[in-house]
């Protein structure tokens, strides 16, 4: 008898930086990757590398959706294509793993929520992958069990430097391509979603301050890959309509377990922080203990206590593993990294599908993805009005 996950077959749209990350994670799980869609050349190359039988060039994702050999669609195309491809996938009866953000506006993402909520609709997930870093799952379990007591406040940041220079370019810099928010939309939402997941509560009020340090940037004429290097000589100036960095204060609503009601959070987000490639930090401070975690040292959590020594929780060792059984594979000291988190996320989604929705949907749903988009709109409104805004 085949392993349940091996019976499921994935088709992928998009072959840029993140697409292959999905493919490798799926292959690790034993999921069959049966189709790939993208530009004709890159889809072909991708198929040749991983032995993917069906190739859909010219970005013809609808043809792929018609394939009887695809059960789950992974959407890793640019942001502005997400909603349409999601709606079409649902309509075609395909389960969906959609890269974040779910869409460009809450108006359009609401449609995905509605479609995914229909009776008999396929499973829909949005790729807020930080949820499946075992330490994040662990902090969520600790909060839910009351290990940290009542949560008082949360603080942290997400800092990158890949857009530090005025000559740094990516389609995400353009509001028309990536959405009106950039730093907060691209990485800030990872932080907010992860904190929301940890607390078991959703943000309901926001105060934000955003700044565009480089009001004019220079860009290459053609299109470029994420993280690719560009020759400055070919560049033309353009006005920047997305923020370089921002501060976001949030109030979270009620959590079902009663340990995290009305929590205040403070996040700094920046894509112009020299030297810090992916510096993400979350600190959750409760009446009994605190939990601090950084992405730089993703396999551990530091638990702070007032009247006892602080503790270092290590993934794969006692105090850690029982809460996250099934979402970490290697013993302590054998680091899990970026690809492993993707693997765990897809395991959650595919187990949910394979079980007939019997498992808890730990992954971000369409509603979660929609909430993040609404939240970004509130950030924009707050930053403009300079007041707190309710979501």
Q: Spell out the alpha helix ranges (H) of 69-223.
A: 82-91, 106-117, 134-145, 175-178, 183, 189-199
Q: Closest separation between CB of residue 21 and a second copy, Å? A: 8
Where does this chain touch a second copy (CB under 8 A) — which range of 95-103, 107-115, 171-179, 206-214? 206-214
Closest distance of CB 194 from a second copy, Å = 16
Integer Cα distance of 151 and 41 in angstroms: 51
Which segment (48-56, 71-79, 100-108, 231-239) binds a second copy by CB under 8 A? 48-56
Omega before 101 within 30 of 0, i.e. cis: yes
Q: How far apart are CA 370 and CA 100, in angstroms?
A: 10
Longest dimension (CA), the chain: 62
Which residues between 50 and 109 bind a second copy (CB under 8 A)?
Answer: 50-51
How far apart are CB 197 and a second copy at their closest, in Å?
20
Centre a 10 Å sphere on the Cβ of residue 281 and count the other Cβ atoms it contains: 18
Instruction: Considering the complex, state which of residue 28 and residue 180 has its C-beta at the smaller distance from a second copy.
Output: 28
Interatomic CA distance for residues 13 and 77, integer angstroms: 6
Q: Which range, of 95-103, 169-177, 208-216, 367-375, touches a second copy by CB under 8 A?
A: 208-216
- Counting contacts by CB under 8 A, is residue 238 touching a second copy? no
199 and 179 Cβ atoms separated by less than 8 Å: no
DSSP annotation string for 340-373: HHHHHHHHHHHHHHHTTS-S---SB-HHHHHHHH
Phi, psi (deg, nearest 5) at residue 112: -65, -40
Nearest to 67 by CA among 93, 38, 29, 41: 93
When the beta carbons of 308 and 360 are compared against a second copy, the nearer one is 308
User: Which of positions 256-275 make contact with a second copy (CB under 8 A)?
Assistant: 264, 266, 268, 270, 272-275
Site for a second copy contains 290 (CB under 8 A): yes
Minimum CB separation of residue 228 from a second copy in Å reads: 10
Cα–Cα distances (Å) from 306 to 143, 265, 286, 289, 332, in that order, read 17, 21, 11, 7, 27
Q: What CA dihedral angle connects 37, 337, 372 and 116, to 10 degrees?
A: 50
Closer of 134 and 178 to a second copy (Cβ) = 134
43 backbone dihedrals φ, ψ, rounded to 5°? -65, -40
Residue 281 main-chain phi, psi, to 5 deg: -140, 135
In the list 53, 237, 258, 337, the residue contacting a second copy (rule: CB under 8 A) is 337
Q: How many residues of this chain interact with a second copy, rule: CB under 8 A?
A: 92
Site pattern 156..185 for a second copy (x: CB under 8 A): -x-xxxx-xx--------------------
Considering only residues 6 to 25 of the shown chain, the ones binding a second copy according to CB under 8 A are 6, 17, 21, 24
Collapsed DSSP state (helix, strand, coil) of residue 124: strand
| Residue number with CB closer to a second copy (236 or 274) | 274
The residues in 356-385 that bind a second copy, with binding defined as CB under 8 A, are: none
Q: Is 278 in the site for a second copy (CB under 8 A)?
A: yes
Q: Min. distance of Cβ 233 from a second copy in angstroms?
A: 17
Among 114, 121, 174, 249, binds a second copy (CB under 8 A): 249
Told to check if 330 binds a second copy by CB under 8 A, we report yes
List binders of a second copy among 291-320 (CB under 8 A). Answer: 295-298, 302-314, 316-320
Residue from 279, 323, 359, 361 touching a second copy (CB under 8 A): that is 279
Task: Identify the residue among 62, 107, 215, 277 touching a second copy (CB under 8 A).
Answer: 277
Task: Indicate whether 286 belongs to the interface with a second copy (CB under 8 A).
Answer: yes
DSSP 99: P
CB burial of residue 364 (10 Å; 0-12, 13-18, 19+): buried
């Amino acid at each position: 008898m085949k392993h349940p996950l091996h019976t499921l077959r994935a088709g992928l749209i998009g072959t840029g930086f993140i697409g292959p990350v999905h493919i490798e994670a799926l292959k690790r799980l034993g999921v069959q990757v049966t189709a790939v869609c993208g530009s004709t050349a890159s889809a072909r190359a991708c198929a040749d590398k991983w032995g993917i039988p069906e190739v859909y060039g010219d970005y013809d994702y609808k043809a792929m959706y018609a394939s009887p050999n695809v059960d789950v669609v992974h959407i890793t195309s640019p942001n502005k294509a997400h909603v349409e491809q999601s709606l079409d996938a649902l309509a075609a009866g395909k389960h969906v793993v959609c890269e974040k953000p779910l869409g460009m506006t809450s108006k359009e993402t609401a449609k995905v929520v509605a479609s995914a909520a229909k009776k008999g609709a396929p499973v829909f997930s949005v790729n807020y992958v930080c949820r499946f870093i075992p330490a994040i799952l662990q902090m969520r379990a600790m909060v839910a069990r009351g290990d940290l007591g009542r949560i008082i406040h949360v603080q942290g940041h997400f800092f990158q430097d890949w857009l530090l220079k005025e000559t740094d370019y990516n389609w995400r810099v353009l509001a028309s391509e990536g959405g009106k928010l950039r730093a907060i939309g691209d990485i800030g939402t990872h932080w907010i979603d992860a904190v929301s997941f940890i607390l078991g509560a959703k943000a309901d009020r926001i105060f934000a301050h955003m700044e565009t340090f480089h009001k004019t940037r220079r860009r290459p004429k053609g299109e470029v890959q994420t993280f690719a290097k560009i020759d400055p000589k070919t560049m033309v100036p353009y006005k920047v309509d997305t923020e370089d960095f921002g501060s976001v204060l949030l109030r979270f609503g009620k959590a079902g377990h009663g340990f995290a009601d009305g929590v205040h959070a403070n996040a700094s987000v920046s894509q112009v922080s020299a030297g810090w490639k992916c510096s993400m930090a979350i600190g959750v401070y409760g009446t009994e203990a605190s939990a601090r975690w950084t992405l730089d040292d993703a396999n551990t959590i530091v638990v702070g206590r007032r009247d006892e020594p602080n503790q270092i929780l290590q993934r794969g060792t006692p105090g850690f593993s029982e809460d996250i059984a099934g979402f970490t594979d290697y013993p302590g000291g054998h680091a899990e990294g970026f690809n492993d988190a993707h693997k765990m996320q897809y395991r959650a989604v595919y187990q949910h599908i394979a079980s007939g929705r019997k498992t808890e949907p730990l992954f971000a749903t369409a509603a979660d993805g929609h909430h993040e988009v609404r939240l970004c709109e509130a950030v924009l409104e707050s930053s403009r009005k300079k007041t707190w805004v309710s979501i």
